[in-house]
Amino acid sequence: MGKNNRGNLIILSGPSGAGKGTIHNELLNNDSNLAFSVSMTTRKKRNGEKEGVDYFFVTEEEFKEEIKKNSFLEYACVHSNYYGTLKRNVEKDLEKGHDVILEIDIQGALKIKELAPDAIFIFIMPPSMRELRDRLVKRGTESIEKIVERFKNAYKEINEISKYNYVVINDEVEKAVKKVQAILLAERCRVDRIEEFDVNNQEELIHELLVDLKETK
């Protein structure tokens, strides 16, 4: 029985502050079969972020040139910045048999669902809206106005949860990571991940085994 060697496309989404980035990093650190698709963005680089590792940082003009070339699997303008997933990078990893995990916003996820309905869609939820607010404030990376904007968007995003295959509540990172790992393992064991095999060959093998069994008696 041959295993289908093409990887799974995994979409990880959730409100800003839900902890999907932390979960994403833990998954990558603990699963050598997972590949991270580096997105392109017009957002300014934050402290500690690296070009080609966290994002491909480009100008708005450069991003729009890639749009004209139809280079993106999906792209969206979120909080006044463009984000996009490059088709060529994702396809390269899937063909190698790696599962590709995309940490993207809800807009991008819904666009991918139209193009790749067989992808695995996982929504990361905060334990409560109060906890989400506190996480956004504690990050200390944005102004109050930006935090309010993200908090309001979170309500809208949670309404899209029915479009996803799975939901994981991130009350404790370790538990949330284990739940996502269980989902990925289950998906790799799906029957439709197994290629069809030659029934005749299997019948011959069974016959040989029965003959051997009789001869040993």
pLDDT bracket for residue 217 (50, 70, 90): low
User: What are the structural domains of the chain?
Assistant: 9-216 (3.40.50.300)
State which amino acid sits at residue 195.
E
- pLDDT of residue 5 exceeding 90: no
Cβ atoms of 185 and 10 within 8 Å: the answer is: no
Q: Give the tens place of pLDDT for each residue, 173-203.
A: 999 999 999 999 999 888 776 655 454 556 6
Q: Give the tens place of pLDDT for each residue, 111-167.
A: 899 888 899 999 998 877 777 777 677 766 667 777 777 777 777 778 888 999 999
C-alpha separations of 84 from 28, 74, 108, 199 in Å: 20, 6, 8, 44
- pLDDT of residue 45 exceeding 80: yes
Please tell me the predicted confidence (pLDDT) of residue 7.
Answer: 92
pLDDT bracket for residue 210 (50, 70, 90): confident
pLDDT bracket for residue 66 (50, 70, 90): very high
The per-residue pLDDT of the chain, averaged, comes to 84
Summarize the confidence of residues 86-105 as an average pLDDT: 91
The burial class, CB within 10 Å (0-12 / 13-18 / 19+), for 72 is buried
